[in-house]
């Protein structure tokens, strides 16, 4: 049975085509898999488990249905949905993963990340991330009135879109020197991440050994999945319409 990895679906009621494609993916592929790993930015925005919309509840139920049929599901926070908590995970039948997480796939250690912490040249974002992901800040955010959280979410989303358009491409991509450093730190020769929306398989050297960095694609014009089975690793695109 295969292991599937996806990221950056940015699920939102404004993009029903992506939601429909994801539900098809669950039925046709994830339900037949041994495990499904979701590496962040699964939702376009998440303001707290206590504020789940009917749409978000329907996604949780769809995940739970797949989990109940035997597929193990793992969820990692992204920069858009870092407030996803244990309540959602219970409803969706998934386990929360730390970022980064070192797991074993096909008998070898692999490092999983969302990928935003690899973009160290984006100094303003890294500073903002450290401030926002501080446990005290996270606690305060979860306890703000719902209307205030909705307002902040809209503000951050608009600011993020504007900054991506304005910043140079190399700023919003990973820092090349950071890749072998973090792979060596965790003792792996394979790194899998999303966030940058630049799907590819990169070959590199880590401590003089051949290594690879696999970047998952975002679901926008098409869907992306990394499938791992006894034949190896396969990064595939597929239509969402």
Question: Is 122 annotated for ligand binding?
Answer: yes
Quick: pLDDT tens for 203-234: 999 999 999 999 999 999 999 999 999 999 99
- Evaluate if residue 168 carries a pLDDT over 80: no
165 band by pLDDT with thresholds 50, 70 and 90: low
Average pLDDT over residues 11-21: 96
Question: Is 8 annotated for ligand binding?
Answer: yes
Compute how many other C-beta atoms are within 10 angstroms of the C-beta atom of residue 128. Answer: 16
- The conformational region for residue 207 under phi > 0 = left, psi -120 to 50 = alpha, else beta, is left
Question: Is 197 annotated for ligand binding?
Answer: yes
Question: Is 202 annotated for ligand binding?
Answer: no
Question: Is 143 annotated for ligand binding?
Answer: no
Average model confidence (pLDDT) across the chain: 92
Q: Which pLDDT value is given to residue 84?
A: 95
Q: What is the value of pTM for the model shown?
A: 0.93
Q: Which tokens go with 156?
A: 């951050």
Average pLDDT over residues 110-131: 94
Q: Is the preceding peptide bond at 100 cis, omega within 30 degrees of 0?
A: yes
What is the CATH number for 24?
Answer: 3.60.21.10
158 band by pLDDT with thresholds 50, 70 and 90: confident
Tell me which H or E stretch contains 114.
none
How many C-alpha atoms does 157 have within 13 Å on its Cβ side? 16
Q: What is the residue range of 13's domain?
A: 3-239
Q: How far apart are CA 226 and CA 141, in angstroms?
A: 33
Domain tally for the chain? Answer: 1
DSSP per-residue codes, 207-233:
TTEEEEEEEPPPSSSEEEEEEEETTEE
Quick: pLDDT tens for 48-69: 999 899 999 999 999 999 999 9
Enumerate residues 6+ apart whose C-beta is below 8 A from 132: 82, 138, 141
């Amino acid at each position: 049975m295969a292991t599937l990895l996806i990221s950056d679906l940015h699920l939102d009621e404004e993009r029903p085509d992506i939601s429909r494609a994801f539900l098809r993916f669950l039925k046709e592929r994830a339900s037949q898999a041994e495990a499904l790993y979701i590496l962040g930015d699964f939702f376009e925005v998440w303001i707290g488990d206590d504020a789940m919309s009917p749409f978000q509840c329907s996604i949780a139920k769809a995940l739970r249905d797949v989990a109940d049929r035997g597929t193990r599901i793992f969820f990692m926070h992204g920069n858009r949905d870092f407030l996803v908590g244990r309540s959602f995970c219970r409803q969706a039948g998934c386990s929360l993963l730390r970022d980064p997480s070192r797991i074993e796939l096909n008998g070898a250690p692999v490092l999983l990340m969302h990928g935003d912490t690899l973009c160290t040249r984006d100094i303003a974002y890294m500073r903002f991330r450290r401030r926002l992901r501080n446990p005290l800040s996270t606690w305060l955010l979860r306890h703000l009135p719902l209307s205030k959280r909705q307002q902040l979410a809209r503000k951050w989303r608009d600011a993020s879109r504007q900054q991506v358009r304005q910043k140079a491409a190399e700023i919003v991509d990973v820092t090349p020197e950071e890749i072998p450093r973090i792979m060596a730190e965790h003792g792996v020769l394979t790194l899998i991440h999303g966030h940058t929306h630049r799907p590819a398989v990169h070959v590199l050297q880590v401590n003089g050994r051949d290594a690879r960095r696999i970047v998952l694609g975002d679901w926008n014009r098409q869907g992306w999945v990394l499938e791992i089975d006894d034949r190896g690793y396969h990064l595939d695109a597929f239509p969402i319409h």
